[in-house]
């Protein structure tokens, strides 16, 4: 977390914020992916509703973390509130790897340590940004690179390889057939494949769930006023929103 925090601190300065914005964001938001998105959205003068919806969508996975996170060991209401606030990916991963033997003191100490790594990483990044006389390109990719690393790390067993191959195949097909809409098309290809191969779902469930997933993505695009990138299809046909 500390290296990603450094990248966040550098981004804060490069986006034109004051140095104190880094610990403020890290202290009050404490969600790496969300923080990096929020600082870009604020600079771009995004509507408050769009920022709120984006934050909800990015962090919605945390709802599922709560099902198995050992929050029940924390009895103090203040400590419990902080534990909920500091339920990040890394904290969940640690408890998921060792689900037994957690006490309130161990759990809160672990979360405070993660929080400290992030805050001090951001301050380190701010200090580095103030010292170097040039702008570092590509820092926005730091978080994406982290998730790529986590994805590869989760595929150490043969059981996870089919999902990785399905994702790669889906994106390759989409990139070749519909390069202008590769991401959206890849999601539509991957989802039914995943349901058939991994979830062993029936044809009716595959169709219904795939249609629901596509509708959900379109709903998000509409709510955030997004248009998908144009490509070869737009050159030959007048497509409806959001494919214009």
Q: Is pLDDT at 133 greater than 80 in this prediction?
A: no
Q: Which of 101-115, 155-169, 221-235 shows the lowest mean pLDDT across its residues?
A: 221-235
Strand extents, DSSP E, the chain: none
Confirm if 229 and 181 have CB atoms less than 8 A apart: yes
Which pLDDT does position 242 carry in this prediction? 56
107-131 residues labelled b (16+ CB within 10 A) or e (exposed): bbebbeebbebbbbbbbbbbeebee
List, for residues 167-186, the tens digit of each pLDDT value: 888 888 877 777 766 777 77
96-100's contacts with Cβ under 8 Å and 24+ in sequence apart are 96/68, 99/68, 99/70
Question: What confidence score (pLDDT) does residue 113 get?
Answer: 92
- Whole-number average pLDDT of the chain: 78
Query: Which comes out higher in pLDDT, residue 111 or 158?
Result: 111
- pLDDT tens track for 202-211: 888 888 888 8
Give per-residue pLDDT as tens, 18-37.
Answer: 888 888 888 888 877 778 77
Which range scores top for mean pLDDT: 45-49, 55-59, 113-117, 134-138? Answer: 113-117
Is residue 186 within 8 A of residue 168, CB to CB? The reply is no
58-68 CB burial, b ≥16 within 10 A, e <16? eeeeeeebeee
Predicted confidence (pLDDT) at residue 108 exceeds the cutoff of 90: yes
Q: Which is more confidently placed, 213 or 85?
A: 85
pLDDT at 47 over 60: yes
Tokens coding 185 = 């098309």
Which has the higher per-residue pLDDT, 125 or 59?
A: 125
Using the Cα atoms of residue 3, residue 139, residue 145 and residue 242 in order, give the sign of their dihedral. positive
Question: DSSP secondary-structure letter at 149?
Answer: H
Instruction: Report CA 159 to chain centroid distance, whole Å.
Output: 24
Rounded (5°) CA angle 217-1-138? 65
> What pLDDT does 168 receive?
82
- What is the rounded radius of gyration, in angstroms, for the C-alpha atoms of the chain? 21
What is the domain partition of the chain in residue ranges? 2-139, 158-236
Q: What are phi and psi of 19, to 5 degrees?
A: -60, -35
């Amino acid at each position: 977390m500390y290296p990603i925090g450094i990248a966040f601190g550098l981004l804060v300065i490069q986006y034109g914020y004051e140095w104190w914005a880094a610990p403020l964001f890290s202290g009050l938001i404490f969600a790496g992916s969300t923080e990096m998105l929020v600082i870009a959205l604020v600079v771009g003068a995004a509507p408050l509703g769009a920022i709120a919806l984006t934050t909800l969508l990015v962090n919605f996975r945390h709802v599922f973390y709560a099902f198995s996170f050992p929050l029940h060991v924390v009895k103090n209401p203040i400590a419990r509130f902080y534990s909920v606030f500091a339920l990040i990916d890394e904290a969940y991963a640690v408890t998921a790897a060792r689900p037994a033997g957690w006490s309130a003191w161990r759990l809160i100490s672990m979360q405070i340590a993660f929080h400290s790594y992030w805050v001090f990483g951001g301050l380190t990044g701010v200090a580095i940004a103030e010292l170097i006389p040039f702008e570092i390109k590509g820092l926005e990719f730091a978080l994406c690179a982290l998730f790529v690393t986590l994805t590869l790390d989760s595929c150490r067993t043969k059981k996870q390889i089919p999902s990785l191959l399905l994702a790669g195949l889906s994106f390759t097909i989409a990139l070749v057939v519909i390069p202008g809409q590769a991401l959206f098309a890849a999601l539509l290809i991957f989802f039914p494949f995943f349901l058939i191969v991994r979830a062993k779902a029936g044809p009716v469930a595959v169709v219904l769930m795939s249609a629901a997933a596509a509708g959900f993505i379109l709903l998000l695009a509409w709510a955030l006023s997004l248009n998908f990138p144009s490509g070869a299809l737009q050159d030959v046909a007048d497509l409806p929103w959001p494919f214009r």
